[in-house]
Each structure stands twice: as structure tokens, then as C-alpha cells.
């Protein structure tokens, strides 16, 4: 087993897991498990192929450490400007969402120990702690993420052991909202929940010696793990609670508080699990932004640190109690950045390709040809329509 590639797949998974794990039961439970599962499978398939397109663009662009360089070498200065603007907006929105979620959890954990803490202090403490690992580089994040992911999955398994006996057929079969239009409207939140796109340029550069098959498998594994976790989590939550209860949750603490009444240990387990999920997501997204800032702005660590962590922290202070709203904004930005821009990159690159490129073992080309590209374009347009 190639542990470096496996660790990279876990970074992809850890980046996607986090906010999405918490948001999915809140937005899907009312529509029933059948249609919720079907929509999740479609979103996962579309997101995975879009990630493979970006992997192709990165693998065919030499010396590219961030998406800034990839855009410059594929879609020109104008495309580079648009890509950078969208990339920064996306990463800022995602980091703000993760800081908000993590601070809420930290405040709750300390209150369990009878220690009162302001939400602002919790936001600063979490950002300072997590950023210390990001500045150490991708290799450190890779090794740390493997450890965190192992503990996160362990907490998920413990949670399921507690929740599964309480699941009922009545809860699993409940459908309180038959409006398929409203279900369709949740597409961008689900799309964001599978978003590992920001870390792909860094991971392709980190695995520059990998074969094209290994790069493809890295992305697919990094997408399948979140899908399995989301489905298991969704079924466990829906099986234990009524849809009316779930849709009234506004933050992580509400969900944990409801389950803590059912089991005295679940509050601690869920707090640890969601903390790890948010931390792994934060590490992946912050790594992408940190590398982007090094690639585009400055190699000075102080300047890069301020640009990467201080601005999202200030944004989190202004966006209190807006966890799901920020996630929704990130979803709209992500449609352009993770669907349309990789499509433009790949179409441009394929027009210039030579036979030598196809024979290179380290240069990946996404399967499916023009049909898959057309379906990906349609997928992106449908995601945009869901927000109109």
C-alpha cells in the first residue's frame, strides 16, 4: 500500500467531511431517505468527476503548486484572475464556516467542565491552534490527518453502536415534505459537503511521482469515504429522531443536546467526533489557501499567515450564527470554481495535447471523453438553477 497516496485520499475525505456531516441531516431528513440518498449519490458522482478533471489539469501543468499557476498556464490571464477571485471567496467562506462550527463546539465542551468561554475567544483559540500545523507544510498535515481521521472514524463507530439500537422503522420511513423542488434546492449545500476540490492542486504536487491510475484512485477513494460516512450518519440520525426535531436544529450544539438526553456518553463522543471532523476540514482548506497565498502573494511566512488566517477569523466574528448560510454561499461559488473552471482548463489542454502526453505514466486524463464533459456541464448548470 502507498501510504502517501492513502494519506492524500484521507486529506481529501477529511476536507469534505466536517460541516457537511452536520448539515446533511438538518436539510434532508424531511424529504425521506429514498430521495435523499438518490440525490446524494448523484451529487457525489458529479463532484467526483469534476475533481478528476481538476486532477487532470494539475497533472498536465508542470511546476504548479497552487491553482493560481494552473489557471495561468491553461486559461490565460483573464481566466487566472477570475479563478483566483472565486478561489479566495470559496476558501474564505469555508474557513469561516469551520471556525464558526468549531468555536461553538469548543464553547460547549468547556461549559461541560463548568468553564465559561466567550465565542470570540473560542474562535481565536481554535484558529491559532489549527494554524500552527498548517504552516508546517503538507507532509505534517498528511501525517496528522491520518491520526485524526482514525480517531474520527472510531468516534463515528462508537456513535453508531449507541444510536443503531434506537432506530425505528417509523422514523426511517417518515416523509414530511413531498416538495421535490425544495429537495432540489438543497443541491448546493450537498455539493459543498463533498467539496475537496481546494486541496487537489496541493495533493497533485505532493504526489508528483504517482502514476495516473494512482492519482485517479486517490480522488475516487477520497470521495467514497465521505459518501459512506454521510449515508450512515444520515440513516442513524433520521432513525432516532423525527423530521420535525431535526429541521429545527440551527447549530451543532442543538443536535448534540438532543442526543445527550438519550445517552449519557453520546454528548462527549459526538463532541469529539464533530470537533475532529471540523478540524480535518479546516486543515485541508487552510492548507489550500496557505499554498495559494505562497504561490500568488508572498513566500514570507508572516505575510502568508496573516492573509490565510486573520481575514477568515474576522469574517467569523461578523457572521455569528450563520453556519448553514455561509455553507450555502460557498456552494454557489464552488459550482463555478469546481465545475466550470476545470472544464475550461481541460478543454483548453486537450486541444493542445500530443501523443507523448497520453503515453506519460504520470499525466492523468479523466475518462469519459466529450460525453462526460457535456454531462458535467449540465450538472453544473442544474446546481446553479437550484439556487435561482
All 3 cell numbers of residue 154?
472510531
Q: Report percent pLDDT > 90 for the chain.
A: 15
Q: How far apart are CA 105 and CA 128, in angstroms?
A: 16
Q: Closest Cα to residue 145, out of 333, 350, 328, 282?
A: 282
pLDDT in tens, 244-291: 676 676 666 677 777 777 777 887 887 788 788 888 888 888 888 888
Helices and strands per DSSP (H, E), number in the chain: 21, 0
pLDDT in tens, 144-169: 888 988 888 898 888 888 888 888 88
Q: How far apart are CA 215 and CA 59, in angstroms?
A: 9
Position 342 scores a pLDDT of 92
Position 361 scores a pLDDT of 60
**pLDDT bucket at 243, cuts 50 / 70 / 90:** low
Residue 14 phi, psi dihedral angles, 5° rounding = -65, -30
Q: How far apart are CA 55 and CA 58, in angstroms?
A: 5
Q: Are 95 and 199 in contact (CB under 8 A)?
A: no
Position 304 scores a pLDDT of 85
pTM of the model: 0.83
Residue 121 phi, psi dihedral angles, 5° rounding = -65, -40
Q: How many CB atoms lie within 10 A of CB 355?
A: 7
Q: Are 27 and 233 in contact (CB under 8 A)?
A: no
The mean of the pLDDT values for the chain is 83
Position 55 scores a pLDDT of 92
**pLDDT bucket at 95, cuts 50 / 70 / 90:** confident
More confident residue, 180 or 356: 180
Q: How far apart are CA 4 and CA 218, in angstroms?
A: 10
pLDDT in tens, 104-114: 878 877 887 88
Q: Say if residue 377's pLDDT is above 90.
A: yes
> Rounded to whole angstroms, what are the CA distances from 351 to 6, 13, 59, 348?
32, 32, 16, 5
Q: Is 158 buried (19+), middle (13-18) or exposed (0-12) by CB count in 10 A? A: middle
Q: How far apart are CA 225 and CA 362, in angstroms?
A: 24
pLDDT in tens, 65-81: 678 888 888 888 888 88
- Span 298-318, average pLDDT: 81
Q: How far apart are CA 132 and CA 236, in angstroms?
A: 35
Q: Are 122 and 274 in contact (CB under 8 A)?
A: no
Position 186 scores a pLDDT of 82
Handedness of CA 310, 7, 97, 72 (dihedral sign): positive
Position 37 scores a pLDDT of 93
Position 326 scores a pLDDT of 61
All 3 cell numbers of residue 263?
445517552
**pLDDT bucket at 48, cuts 50 / 70 / 90:** very high
Cα end-to-end span (Å), the chain? 45
Q: Say if residue 374's pLDDT is above 90.
A: yes
More confident residue, 123 or 89: 123
More confident residue, 301 or 1: 301
- Span 17-42, average pLDDT: 81
**pLDDT bucket at 217, cuts 50 / 70 / 90:** very high
Amino acid at each position: 500500500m502507498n501510504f502517501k497516496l492513502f494519506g492524500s485520499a484521507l486529506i481529501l475525505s477529511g476536507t469534505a467531511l466536517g460541516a457537511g456531516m452536520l448539515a446533511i441531516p438538518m436539510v434532508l431528513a424531511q424529504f425521506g431517505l429514498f430521495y435523499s440518498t438518490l440525490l446524494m449519490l448523484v451529487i457525489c458522482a458529479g463532484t467526483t468527476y469534476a475533481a478528476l478533471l481538476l486532477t487532470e489539469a494539475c497533472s498536465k501543468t508542470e511546476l504548479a503548486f497552487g491553482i493560481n499557476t494552473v489557471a495561468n498556464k491553461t486559461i490565460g490571464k483573464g481566466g487566472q484572475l477570475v479563478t483566483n477571485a472565486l478561489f479566495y471567496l470559496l476558501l474564505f467562506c469555508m474557513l469561516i464556516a469551520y471556525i464558526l462550527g468549531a468555536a461553538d463546539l469548543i464553547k460547549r465542551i468547556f461549559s461541560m467542565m463548568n468553564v465559561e468561554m466567550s465565542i470570540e475567544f473560542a474562535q481565536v483559540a481554535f484558529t491559532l491552534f489549527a494554524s500552527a500545523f498548517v504552516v508546517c507544510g503538507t507532509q505534517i498535515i498528511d501525517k496528522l490527518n491520518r491520526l485524526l481521521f482514525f480517531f474520527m472514524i472510531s468516534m463515528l463507530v462508537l456513535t453508531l453502536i449507541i444510536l443503531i439500537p434506537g432506530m425505528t422503522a417509523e422514523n426511517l420511513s417518515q416523509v414530511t415534505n413531498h416538495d421535490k423542488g425544495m429537495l432540489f434546492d438543497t443541491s448546493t449545500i450537498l455539493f459543498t459537503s463533498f467539496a475537496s476540490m481546494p486541496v487537489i492542486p496541493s495533493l497533485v504536487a505532493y504526489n508528483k511521482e504517482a502514476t495516473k491510475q494512482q492519482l485517479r484512485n486517490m480522488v475516487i477513494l477520497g470521495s467514497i469515504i465521505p459518501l459512506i460516512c454521510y449515508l450512515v450518519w444520515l440513516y442513524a440520525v433520521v432513525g432516532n429522531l423525527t423530521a420535525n426535531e431535526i429541521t429545527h436544529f440551527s447549530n451543532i450544539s442543538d443536535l448534540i443536546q438532543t442526543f445527550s438526553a438519550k445517552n449519557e456518553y453520546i454528548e462527549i463522543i459526538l463532541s469529539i467526533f464533530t470537533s475532529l471532523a471540523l478540524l480535518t476540514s479546516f486543515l485541508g482548506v487552510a492548507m489550500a489557501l496557505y499554498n495559494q497565498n505562497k504561490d500568488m502573494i508572498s513566500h514570507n511566512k508572516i505575510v502568508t499567515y496573516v492573509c490565510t488566517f486573520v481575514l477568515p477569523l474576522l469574517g467569523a466574528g461578523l457572521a455569528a450564527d450563520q453556519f448553514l448560510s455561509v455553507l450555502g454561499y460557498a456552494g454557489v461559488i464552488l459550482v463555478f470554481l469546481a465545475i466550470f473552471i476545470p472544464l475550461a482548463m481541460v478543454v483548453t489542454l486537450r486541444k493542445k495535447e500530443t501523443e507523448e502526453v497520453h503515453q506519460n505514466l504520470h499525466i492523468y486524463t479523466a475518462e469519459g471523453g466529450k460525453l462526460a464533459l457535456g454531462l458535467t456541464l449540465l450538472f453544473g448548470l442544474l446546481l446553479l438553477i437550484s439556487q435561482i
